Structure 1
Amino acid sequence: MDEYLILMRLDLITKGAQPSPEQLQQYMQQYQDWVATLTAQGRFVSGTGLSTEGRVLKAGNVVLDGPFAETKEALAGFITIRARDFDEAMGWAQACPILRAEGNSVEVRRISTVHEPE
């Protein structure tokens, strides 16, 4: 089985897209249930959330503040899963509860090494 990265992006700036504290608690429970299902199926590898603070390094030793949450979609976190193929990974990603909110998205990428041909 290959490993796939599921990147989760949330709309952090559209006022109408922001959940109430109660909704946030419900969303977190749905997310935990989704991860529990992945784990029970032997598909979950790892994952974590990300803060909205950061810095960007560019060539020439240039350091920029950011990324900034002012962009419509901010990278909120990621998980790594095992799947037989890209289609199965997409199926798991489509079940991600963050997709229930308007403006959110997930991106799926197969994990490869620099030594492995694409």
Structure 2
Amino acid sequence: MQDFLVIIRGEERGPDSPQEMQQHLQNWQRWLHELMDAGHYIGGQNLETDGLTVLSNHTITDRPLAEGKELVAGYLVIRAANAAAVAELMKGCPSLPYGCTLEIRGIRQLH
């Protein structure tokens, strides 16, 4: 088994009403619990939209981060046999209908 980082990029649109948002959050909780129960979910968090950027010349800026689809909204750490298995698990992501994208990257172990 290997650990993978799943980068969740912004949604094109979100839930339209408070009730739909509540249902969306419940769907997320249910899905994450399914991943946990199956031993795939290692961790993850939502990210704030504001942040700092350190440039190659050592300048630190608070320039706006990417918007829309490019915004990194959060991440998951998933354990699975391979990237294809993670991709299959990610098909259940509740934010996919809202236009988010999921980037799957293997985590290299530093020795």
Q: 1:67 to 1:79 in 2, by over 3 A?
A: farther
Question: What TM-score results when the alignment is normalised by the length of structure 2?
Answer: 0.88
SS in 1 for 2:44: strand
CA–CA distance in structure 2, aligned partners of residues 31 and 44 of structure 1 = 13
SS in 1 for 2:39: coil
- Normalized per residue, the structure richer in strand is 1
Partner of 1:56: 53
- Structure 1 letter corresponding to 2:78: I
Correspondent of 1:37 among 22, 34, 37: 34
CA–CA distance in structure 1, aligned partners of residues 20 and 68 of structure 2 = 20
Partner of 1:100: 97
Q: 1:66 to 1:34 in 2, by over 3 A?
A: farther
Percent of pairs identical after alignment? 30
Whether 1:7 and 2:7 are equivalent positions in the alignment is yes
Residue by residue, what CA displacement relative to the aligned partner does 1:60-104 show, whole Å, maximum 9, x if unpaired?
Answer: 2111214436x2221111110100111111111121111011x31
SS in 1 for 2:10: strand
SS in 1 for 2:78: strand
Q: Which runs of 5+ in 1 are unaligned?
A: none
Partner of 2:77: 80
